[in-house]
Amino acid sequence: MAYIKTTWKDRLVERPNTFEVQENPDGTITLIPKPGTVTQAGTPVNATNLNKIEDGIVTLENNVTTHLAEDVSDADGAHGLKYEKGTFAPSLRFTSGVGSIAVINSANYIKINSLIYFTLYLRLDITVATGAIYIAGFPYLNKGGQTAVAMAHQTIVDATDAIINSDSEIQFYKNASTATLVSTGTRYVMLSGTYITD
């Protein structure tokens, strides 16, 4: 429940701190307030109002503790931010060719809401390739259209560019337009990129 603020008011009287002295039979005196005209009663400083402050402090402390325990990697994330990281199993395919991924040195991804960031370092054993070359197996579908991929290093013959296509696969190109590549033997690719998913 939301905390309801108390608007504190001063007590306003005609004669503040004014008392009548009443002598008691036992020799003590009693001070009887004589404030005169009271123009504003003021907010009482009592257990109800003070405990309301205490309860508000406890509620705030509990909320902060709960907040600190939240993590963006939780299933529901935190503050609208969801974070996930992991590995995936890429695969190799050709429109015309034979080959496989011999070694997966790394295939990692980080997902922040709908943004995917990935890195790949693979050794490919290509018996023969005379068509388009693709790397598939990404953990989430590409929903953001064709996206360029950064190639830190690669030894596929004639491959100068790479994109993630609408089928959620990396496709290699020569000079950004020619998809047919002729390549054989052991090839290495080190790639990184981002794309949008659901």
Residue 27's φ and ψ, nearest 5 degrees, are: 90, -5
What are the tens digits of pLDDT across the range 9-67?
A: 999 999 999 999 999 999 999 999 999 999 999 999 999 999 999 999 999 999 888 88
pLDDT at 78: 81
Give the residue carrying structure tokens 């404030």. Answer: 35
Specify the CATH number of the domain 83-196: 2.60.90
Q: What's the N-to-C CA distance of the chain in angstroms?
A: 35
pLDDT at 185: 92
pLDDT at 66: 84
| pTM higher than the cut 0.95 | no
pLDDT at 112: 94
Both structure tokens of 143: 């929903």
CATH 2.60.90 residue ranges for the chain: 83-196
Of 159, 184, 183, residue with least CA distance to 172 = 159
What is the rounded distance in angstroms from the CA atom of residue 119 to the CA atom of residue 102?
17
pLDDT at 162: 92
pLDDT at 176: 77
Give the rounded distance of the alpha carbon of 171 from its chain centre: 30
Both structure tokens of 67: 């907040």
Give the rounded distance of the alpha carbon of 74 from its chain centre: 9
CB 132 within 8 A of CB 179: yes
- Residues of the chain short of pLDDT 70, as ranges, are none
